[in-house]
Structure 1
Amino acid sequence: MRGNSTVTPIRIAPLLALAGLTLPPIATSSQDDRPATATGVVFHDRDRDGSRGDDEEGIAGVRVSNGREIATTDAEGRYELPIDDDTILFVIKPRGWMTPVNEDHLPRFFYIHKPAGSPESRFPGVAPTGPLPESIDFPLHPQAEPDVFRALFFGDTQPRDLKEVEYIAHDVIEPILREGTDASFGVTLGDIVFDDLSVMDPLNKAIALIGIPWYNVIGNHDMNYDADDDDHSDETFERIYGPSYYAFDHGPVHFLVLDDVSWFVPEGEDRGRYIGGLGARQMEFIRNDLAMIPEDQLVVLMMHIPLLEVEDRQELYRLIEQRPFALSVSAHTHFLEHVFIGEEDGFRGAQPHHHVVNVTVCGSWWSGTPDEQGIPHTTMRDGAPNGYSVFTFDGHDYDIEFRAARRPADHQMTIFAPEEVASSDAGDTEVLVNVFNGSEKSTVEMAFGDSESWTLLEHVAVPDPYYAKMKELEAGANPPPGRKLPGIIDSPHIWRGLLPADPEPGTHVIRVRTTDQFGKTYFDQRIIRVR
């Protein structure tokens, strides 16, 4: 088991190890032609030391997987699964129990079996693990998990280097620490870093300061680009975070973490590339996993590439479209969007499937003019600020709150209108409102001055006007400092209306209120002069 004590919290047959005895290996496919079988116990780790003591009983009914099949522990907590020489065994955390976490609050729920270790790579993978141990045991300890709980969702943290880790620390993590959080856990939805996988360690240590278990999804910038195939593209990710796809329960919700980044090197080419895809092995795990989940349980699928860009998504649709309670969350695009997938994309469920493209922590890849603290404003190309989401789960229900980096919790929109307008022109003057977390299910209304008459605004797909102005400045003779922002897009969450005709001259307030799909209402206002 050489090299694995730092990879997982599992300690194999501790009494034998203390006695200085060598564990007899189980035959593997490299030793004979028969498939190997792994066995072990999921146990109640009463003293939370990671080792099974004489008084620490096995836990029945816990699921354990090899990334394809799923076994359920028997009355004594024992499981048995086939493996090969490149297998990660992992426990599917049940409700009311928790796995150990390491010093960076990364859950340790897996055991890596790679007798020969990972292939050589620019960024190291898994060291050789040696022969298969006699018993691979998974420790769990009880924890309270109420029906209602919160989780923090980070899209694309994506630092290139240590300086950008510092941006994340000051821009996002410090405000969370100041405000405090009651979130039960957090998750980064892929593109944890930006190609340099050595940056994962300092980033993990910064996020660990939040003090909650932190799960991770693999993204296209988290891969070993010198790999020849998809199977070996996640070796560094596996060493640090474990399997690239897995599942766990928290409270009444089942979470399914997917690896939807498929890496390949086209024939005759030296450089690899990626597409959105799940693959046959992962699909088998998903089928087996969901077959064990009651149809009336909320299932949350977490991935990096948005579902509409995953080539084999139709097979996944067949598995979730019969479920009345399912949600999926991704990142990757660097703009925020709520997508409701229906028949137009082959989804056959009774209701459209809600897919969230989450706000990114790095915004537009840490682009834009630096502020007084030296941190780029990094506005996303939909006009929304960088930040993160707070998900609240309550049985079958959920809601999502947008949180802008270093802004108050109620900063949910921007209002665009001229500074001054002639009274005679007001009725033809456009007001645009960018509601960052808005969707086709949102309502947005506007009132002018002291009027209590609210006008419903029209949902339109147009570029954010403030972002357009920043791009104009970049193209001018004296561009502002900082990395140039990415190209503008038609924002999916802008609403449009007109000022009232012939208002009285003076200084007035444009008031806007929006109610989101979860029933939460937010207010904002902008001052305008009428001459």
Structure 2
Amino acid sequence: MRNRKFLLLLAAAALFAAPVRSAGLPPLPDKPGATVKGYVECEGRGVEGVVVSDGFNVVKTDAEGRYWLKTKLSRSEFVMISTPRGYDPEVYSGFLPKFFCALDKTVGKKEVQQFDFHLTRAANDDYSLLVVADEHVSGRVIDIPPGSGNVIAPVDSIQFRDDFMPRLVEYADSLMRHTPVYGLNLGDMTHSEYWFRNKTGMAEYLHLAKDTPFLMYHAIGNHDHCHKYENDYEAEAEYRKYFGPTYYSFNIGKVHYVVLDDMLYHGRNKYDKIIAPEQLAWLYKDLRALDPGIRQLVVACHVPLAANNGAWDDIWYNLKNKDELFVLLQDYDVTIMTGDWHTEGTTRVNDRIVEYVHPAVTGNWWYRQGICCNGYPAAFTEYVFRGDRLESRSLIDWANGNSKQQYRVYNKGVTSNTGIASSSALDPAGGAPSVLVFFWGVAPNWTFVCRENGEQTYGRGQLVQRYDPLARSLVEEGIIPYERYTWLKQKPVRLYLYTPKDPGAEIEIVGTDHIRNRDFRVVTRIER
């Protein structure tokens, strides 16, 4: 294990640090004041108009694919490109996009460094994006109670390797027969406490995920910071060593992606939810350099920015400086993608900005596969883009055969009082026979049409805040150790409650998501 980790470190260091020169292109002259220069090329020819940045300055390549930057080594770590529409970057570690080069901090201030970037052509206006979040690869024993040795499931890294990865690869392979596939990881690939305790860190994650058959971009999570450092810059060092910049942009087809770090870390998993001023200044320049024809943005970060308190227009903001961010995004149609909370949710920030919180691959921290602590599936998410249009969004339940069914039905032993309390024993007695449906991603603006035996009914169904019966049963069975890990404690979610006039009728419920303009149809009966 140590030898493999050491070799991975050497390979990463050599890859990030070594200046890459393009063969066959003319020597590149220096320019007054510029300390970094280079080419962006494809098939031996320079690519014009590619955005290049050091995280502070933003320039574009000229007609010959050349760029020059006035970079300060005291503040910049990398030179990076925003991969343009119709191209893919190089790949390293099997599946990571090589859109950046590490600056050599040992050279003199006036010495010029050259970094060239190599692209390949890609017909990617139409594609699928697979989004994952919160794998928490830690090498942790899954026992109940924690530390007892009463093992109820394999070590988390083994579950990730033997169960999750084959399902992800299988699903991607099925898509890649007819469409390009890209990936986005929303952070918490690892858990820094276990870097030291179990010798399971970034290198181990990359080894376990090495069979990923598509480019996977990454965002930094709170647990991808080293908890031993109170300084944000130092805490991010391990992430930068393996993945490069913590904020950057790229284009896939007609969609511009921006990855941000929305945490200011203070050590011991304490952090402010804020986007640093230098990131906002860079984002302003990045968007100004964007092709004016691109109006669709995806903004990805780990910690959610906003959430609904209950009503569609009752929004709670998690990001301290949200106004500064949203003013930069106001001229675009924006899909925000976040993770962290090990649940799923949809928030319409305004008419042009929607945020999706993504469920955790680990679910309830690998204690029981397939379910997050409040009942959502431990899924990855597929987004289908057609040009600049988000055509569909689906949770893929990998623990249940990559199921694309977007709901769970409770129709046996359910009454109108089921799920009111955190314990089934505390649900109020009585109640009429009913059906509960858990639609993935249900939001306050959904509408529902219900029928009994084909005849439409009115006023018999409603969205309610309830405890998911399956998640609650795991808590009651003692499988989820929420007393020790308080963040695993179950919370109520939105379920659709239907109480039929005729308990023996065939019940049809059609829920319509008005953001995605998609219907979800459930046909069921009450079972005795």
TM-score (norm 1): 0.78
What residue number does 2:146 align with? Answer: none
Give the deviation of 1:66 after TM superposition: 0.5
Q: Does 1:496 align with 2:497?
A: yes
What residue number does 1:385 align with? Answer: 377
Q: Does 1:412 align with 2:406?
A: yes
Query: Quick one: distance in 1 between partners of 2:448 and 2:473?
Result: 24
What residue number does 2:145 align with? Answer: none
Give the deviation of 1:515 after TM superposition: 3.1
Query: Quick one: distance in 1 between partners of 2:378 and 2:431?
Result: 34
- SS of equivalent to 2:16: coil
Cα gap change, 1:338 to 1:287, in 2 (>3 Å): same
Give the deviation of 1:290 after TM superposition: 1.3
Within the candidate set 270, 277, 281, 2:274 is matched to 277
Within the candidate set 289, 299, 302, 2:300 is matched to 302
Q: How does 1:169-188 map to 2 (within 5 A)?
A: 169-179=161-171, 180-182=174-176, 183-188=180-185
What residue number does 1:89 align with? Answer: 79
Q: Does 1:453 align with 2:453?
A: no
Within the candidate set 220, 226, 249, 1:247 is matched to 249
Deviations 1:251-299 (A, max 9, x none): 011000111121136xxxxx57212111111111111111223275201
Runs of 5+ unmatched residues, structure 1: 17-22, 28-33, 47-55, 117-127, 266-270, 343-350, 368-375
- SS of equivalent to 1:311: coil
Cα gap change, 1:462 to 1:42, in 2 (>3 Å): same
Cα gap change, 1:297 to 1:9, in 2 (>3 Å): farther
What residue number does 1:346 align with? Answer: none
Query: Quick one: distance in 2 between partners of 1:378 and 1:519?
Result: 27
Count residues with an aligned counterpart.
Answer: 461
Query: Quick one: distance in 2 between partners of 1:143 and 1:523?
Result: 37
| Percent identity over paired residues | 21
Cα gap change, 1:387 to 1:475, in 2 (>3 Å): closer
- SS of equivalent to 1:61: coil
Query: Quick one: distance in 2 between partners of 1:102 and 1:211?
Result: 12
- Whichever residue aligns with residue 365 of structure 1, its letter is W
Preserved CA contact (<8 Å) 2:188 2:224: yes
Query: Quick one: distance in 2 between partners of 1:13 and 1:403?
Result: 41
Give the deviation of 1:101 after TM superposition: 0.1
Runs of 5+ unmatched residues, structure 2: 1-9, 141-154, 307-317, 416-428
Preserved CA contact (<8 Å) 1:60 1:75: yes
Cα gap change, 1:238 to 1:131, in 2 (>3 Å): farther
Cα gap change, 1:256 to 1:388, in 2 (>3 Å): same
Deviations 1:462-488 (A, max 9, x none): 221332233223299xx99x9998111
Q: Does 1:319 align with 2:328?
A: yes
Q: Does 1:291 align with 2:288?
A: yes
Within the candidate set 72, 76, 90, 1:100 is matched to 90
Query: Quick one: distance in 2 between partners of 1:228 and 1:470?
Result: 36
What residue number does 1:439 align with? Answer: 443
- SS of equivalent to 1:100: strand
- Whichever residue aligns with residue 366 of structure 1, its letter is W
What residue number does 1:65 align with? Answer: 53
Higher mean C-alpha displacement, 438-447 vs 103-112: 438-447
Query: Quick one: distance in 2 between partners of 1:257 and 1:201?
Result: 22
Preserved CA contact (<8 Å) 1:471 1:485: no
- Whichever residue aligns with residue 462 of structure 1, its letter is R
Query: Quick one: distance in 2 between partners of 1:354 and 1:217?
Result: 19
Preserved CA contact (<8 Å) 1:156 1:332: yes
What residue number does 1:330 align with? Answer: 338
Cα gap change, 1:251 to 1:57, in 2 (>3 Å): same
Give the deviation of 1:437 after TM superposition: 2.5
Preserved CA contact (<8 Å) 1:474 1:484: no
Cα gap change, 1:327 to 1:272, in 2 (>3 Å): closer
Preserved CA contact (<8 Å) 2:260 2:300: yes
Cα gap change, 1:130 to 1:377, in 2 (>3 Å): farther
Preserved CA contact (<8 Å) 2:78 2:100: yes
Give the deviation of 1:529 after TM superposition: 4.1
What residue number does 2:469 align with? Answer: 465
- Whichever residue aligns with residue 102 of structure 2, its letter is I
Query: Quick one: distance in 2 between partners of 1:14 and 1:395?
Result: 34
Q: Does 1:191 align with 2:194?
A: no
Q: CA RMSD in A?
A: 3.5
Give the deviation of 1:202 after TM superposition: 3.3
Query: Quick one: distance in 2 between partners of 1:13 and 1:529?
Result: 68
Cα gap change, 1:522 to 1:239, in 2 (>3 Å): same
Give the deviation of 1:75 after TM superposition: 1.9
Within the candidate set 211, 214, 220, 1:209 is matched to 211
